[in-house]
Structure 1
Amino acid sequence: MVVSVRSSFNALLASASLCAALLVQAPAQAAETSLWQDVQKAGVLRCGAAVAAPYVMRDASTSAYSGYFVDLCRDFGEKVLKVKVEFVDTSWDNLVAGLQSSKWDLAMALNQTPERALAVAFTVPATDYQVSLLVNKNNPKLVDVKDDIATLDKPDVTFAVMSGTAQDKAISAVVRNGKIMRLPGMDEARLAVMSKRADVLVDASDTNHLFALANPDWTREILPKPALAKQGVSFGVRRDITAADLEVLNIYLRQRRDTGEIQQLVDNASLAANAAK
């Protein structure tokens, strides 16, 4: 009789433990929602769009969006998720906040920074942002220069940069012997190199690439080593995204980057931006 009561009591305890475990797991499982399943149910992928060529561009007359992050967002939505894609107009000041409040599902072309990572999650980089250098390939002072910034850091070499920018801060930290010409705007800095008053144009790699594509007869781009102010440029997603959902987009971006497709999109968007100008 004692054995029977004890067995019944143990069985009751086991059942209670199982119920408790199920109750604990149920809320966790319920919270594990899939972003992509929700998007597919809604039938639309919403992409937050703050304009910055060549990442995201908007035609003032037609309101149509273009740019290589626009191409990636559209392709991912239409070909992977099989849904319509909607671009939601916003500003850089509101891009992260709108993502946090679910006004859009993806934020396009966010530079990866520790401060932003406190508020949102990032995909793997689609491209990299860094400060690059642009020179006149016919400049006799720079014939032997490759990508080592030390070979440029000479007393007779002048660097043109927009005053007070991240580029100014980056180049000022490494140039010890060369001259730094700080100018009020990027147009003035470009003109200084075009007129040969300066030897090296210091700017973000994407805008230097735009300028180089527009002037292929005399420009040469240099990505210095070690890199200056290098950051990944990614899609921003909400921090509560599941690891599985994030990996779907990461696989898509890795494959397109490794095959060179993203670089081709960058070049096409850069040419389009120059044509628009």
Structure 2
Amino acid sequence: MARFLPRTIRNMLVCASAIGALLTQVPAQAADVSLWKDIQKAGVLRCGAAVAAPYVMRDARSGEYSGYFVDLCRDFGERVLKVKVEFVDTNWDNLVAGLQGGKWDMAMALNQTPERALAVSFSVPATDYQVSLLINKDNPKLASAGNTIGDFDKPDVTFAVMSGTAQDKAISGVIKQGKIMRLPGMDEVRMAVMSKRADVLVDASDTNHLFAVANPGWTKEVLPKPALAKQGVAFGVRRDVSAADLQTLNIYLAQRRETGEIDALVDKASQLANADKTPQ
């Protein structure tokens, strides 16, 4: 029937259909959650807390939380949103599911991965996770080493790593000449470097930093370039959170990172963890 209508009428019908299609999109756009307004009405920001030093730590006696993601979550809630902050105890298996189910408003210290991005929205990274190297700064074998893997990949250099870990996979993929000493636990890996049976300790950058803070006299941290297995460590929020809300959190984190405040919080948390004030 439509082919017999005058062209002007057909054009009007097409325009009307287009307008109708646009109108049907409005409810979907309006469905974005105004998370911060809802939290301000409730008066409390709930942060999901899975323990991993120095990001999130919990004192077994007092139940008090510490760590640099805890500091950031508390500061964002109290100073930006001006609400009370509560930390909800959970574990890494349930951290994303609890966020999706509304048990907490933000998940702390999530590594950004494509798989997780299918389930949650990420803030900009507060810090970066990557595999790092830790050496004895007085080791003559490494006196001229810079920060490329090639500087360390020599036949007489031994890399100590915990067997079967992501760090093991990462270092095994790039070492061509050096020896790799695979050990069952991190205590054995660190002892191998301390006793000079190995030259390079291979571990996640955050835990290597903890070890370096505890042993400042002889350690040197190296972040290889190009980076090994680098991922951002961020806050997670529900997928339906509005772009404006996510921007608020991103601006907060970007400013604190650029000013060096987050680096200072990392060092504070590392010292606290090494002092064993927050048993794990």
- Deviation, 1:27, is 2.9
What's 1:202 paired with? Answer: 202
Q: Is the 8 A contact 2:33 2:240 kept in 1?
A: no
TM-score (norm 2): 0.90
Paired residue secondary structure (2:230): strand
What's 1:6 paired with? Answer: none
- CA deviation profile, 1:57-79 (whole Å, cap 9, x unmatched): 00000000000000000000000
Aligned positions of 1:162-181 closer than 5 A:
162-181=162-181
Structure 1: give runs of 5+ residues left out of the alignment: 1-12
2:108 maps to 1:81: no
- Deviation, 1:146, is 1.3
- Counterpart code for 2:61: S
Paired residue secondary structure (1:63): coil
- Counterpart code for 2:89: D
Paired residue secondary structure (1:249): helix
Distance 1:127 1:232 in 2: 6
- Deviation, 1:32, is 3.3
- Deviation, 1:151, is 1.1
Distance 2:225 2:21 in 1: 55
Distance 1:65 1:85 in 2: 11
Q: Is the 8 A contact 2:132 2:223 kept in 1?
A: yes
RMSD: 1.8
What's 1:117 paired with? Answer: 117
Structure 2: give runs of 5+ residues left out of the alignment: 1-12
What's 1:3 paired with? Answer: none
Query: Structure 1 170/26 Cα, relative in aligned 2: closer, same or farther at 3 Å?
Result: closer
2:130 maps to 1:139: no
Paired residue secondary structure (1:154): coil
- Counterpart code for 1:43: G
2:253 maps to 1:253: yes
What's 2:262 paired with? Answer: 262
- Counterpart code for 2:223: L
Q: Is the 8 A contact 2:160 2:198 kept in 1?
A: yes
- Counterpart code for 1:207: T
Q: Which runs of 4+ in 1 moved over 6 A?
A: 19-23
2:235 maps to 1:240: no
- Counterpart code for 1:170: A
Count of matched residue positions in the alignment of Structure 1 and Structure 2: 263
- CA deviation profile, 1:226-265 (whole Å, cap 9, x unmatched): 1000000000010001000000000000000000000000
What's 1:35 paired with? Answer: 35
2:45 maps to 1:45: yes
- CA deviation profile, 1:169-202 (whole Å, cap 9, x unmatched): 0000000000000000010000000000000000
